[in-house]
């Protein structure tokens, strides 16, 4: 049996579900895209090809192997996008929460059944149907659970709005010992540079006391300022709009001092090394075209 344990974003990783790009299917039609960035690349003829994405994901798998992390992969569904394992479920403490995702993606959850079978069924939580949530919006951190959300009345109009207020309330009920802190995210169905698809597209804690942040991803200034005060200005790497678009906040921590990052994130990677982190660089620019990066394609199960 797997003894789930995820208290935060950066403790030493022991087991993880890494998505797969195999049999990813043909390039989608522009009207079928779930986010503005994928659509942009479909229309430009630069949408990533399967071979490149498989190579990128294998580079990440190799880093996990180097650090002796147990890696699970989904069962492969023919012609189906299964890269972003973070969307389908997430672990907080010793519980796995099934994400209520876009209905078209239900099969992705079924494809990790061989992992779920190794978890005590009492530790698997399914939220009520009205709760929409995806793992990219959920971050356990010390006493908190940080959650990205969108509570506007026009929520249904945004395919980019993935976590609603019902889910925020439900998670507070499930984890009464934690403080659930919600952040309103900026949503845009058309312009990817004005859209924070998930909380991890504009914020991520790293190490023990630092964070990557992008101000424009937050709708409410004081919520952004709360994070600045919490981590302290000197501990924050503020990314530009262009860097947010390229997913600089969506890196992934193997431990408090080891981070997997995209090889082109020059400014960020330099800062991380200056701050004493070991940076494992991988190519991930093709996968980034689908508005997801390293955090989106990994679902931690066990951290020390």
- CATH assignment at residue 281: 3.75.10.10
Is 6 contained in some domain?
Answer: no
Is 280 contained in some domain?
Answer: yes
pTM: 0.93
On the 0-12 / 13-18 / 19+ scale of CB atoms within 10 A, 48 is buried
Is 163 contained in some domain?
Answer: yes
What pLDDT, on the 0 to 100 scale, is given for residue 195? Answer: 77
Instruction: Pull the structure tokens for residue 201.
Output: 């597209």
What pLDDT, on the 0 to 100 scale, is given for residue 96? Answer: 98
Is 7 contained in some domain?
Answer: no
Is 1 contained in some domain?
Answer: no
In the chain (304 residues long), the average pLDDT of successive 10-residue segments reads 97 98 88 78 88 96 98 96 94 95 83 98 95 94 95 76 90 97 87 82 97 95 98 98 93 98 98 98 92 93 98
- Candidates 95, 180, 96, 100; CA nearest to 134 is 100
Q: How many CB atoms lie within 10 A of CB 286?
A: 21
Is 194 contained in some domain?
Answer: yes
Domain of residue 53 covers 13-303
Is 274 contained in some domain?
Answer: yes
Percent of the residues in the chain that have a pLDDT greater than 70, as a whole number: 98
Rounded CA gap, 57 and 296, in Å? 12
What pLDDT, on the 0 to 100 scale, is given for residue 123? Answer: 98
Q: How many CB atoms lie within 10 A of CB 56?
A: 23
- Candidates 136, 140, 160, 131; CA nearest to 148 is 136
What pLDDT, on the 0 to 100 scale, is given for residue 94? Answer: 98
Sign of CA dihedral 298, 299, 301, 304: positive
Is 3 contained in some domain?
Answer: no
How many domains does the chain fold into? 1
Rounded CA gap, 148 and 16, in Å? 22
């Amino acid at each position: 049996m797997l003894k789930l344990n995820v208290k935060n974003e950066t403790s030493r990783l022991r087991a993880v579900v890494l998505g797969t790009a195999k049999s990813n299917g043909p390039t989608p039609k522009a009207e079928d895209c779930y986010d503005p960035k994928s659509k942009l690349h479909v229309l430009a003829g630069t949408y990533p090809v399967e071979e490149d994405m498989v190579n990128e994901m294998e580079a990440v798998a190799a880093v996990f192997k180097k650090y002796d992390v147990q890696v699970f992969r989904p069962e492969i569904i023919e012609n189906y996008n299964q890269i972003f394992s973070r969307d389908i479920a997430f672990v907080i403490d010793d519980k796995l929460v099934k994400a209520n995702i876009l209905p078209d993606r239900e099969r992705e959850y079924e494809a990790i059944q061989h992992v779920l079978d190794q978890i005590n069924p009492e530790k698997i939580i399914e939220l009520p149907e009205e709760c929409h949530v995806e793992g990219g919006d959920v971050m356990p951190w010390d006493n908190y659970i940080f959650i990205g959300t969108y509570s506007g009345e026009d929520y249904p109009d945004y395919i980019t709005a993935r976590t609603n207020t019902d889910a925020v309330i439900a998670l507070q009920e499930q984890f009464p010992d934690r403080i659930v802190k919600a952040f309103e995210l900026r949503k845009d169905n058309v312009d990817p540079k004005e859209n924070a698809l998930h909380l991890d597209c504009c914020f991520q804690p790293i190490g023990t006391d630092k964070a990557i942040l992008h101000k424009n991803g937050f709708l409410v200034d004081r919520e952004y300022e709360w994070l600045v005060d919490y981590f302290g200005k000197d501990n924050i790497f503020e990314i530009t709009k262009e860097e947010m678009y390229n997913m600089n906040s969506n890196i992934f921590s193997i431990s408090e001092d080891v981070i997997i990052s995209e090889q082109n994130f020059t400014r960020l990677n330099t800062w991380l090394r200056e701050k004493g982190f070991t940076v494992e660089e991988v190519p991930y620019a093709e996968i980034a075209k689908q508005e997801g990066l390293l955090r989106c394609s990994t679902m931690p199960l066990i951290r020390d």
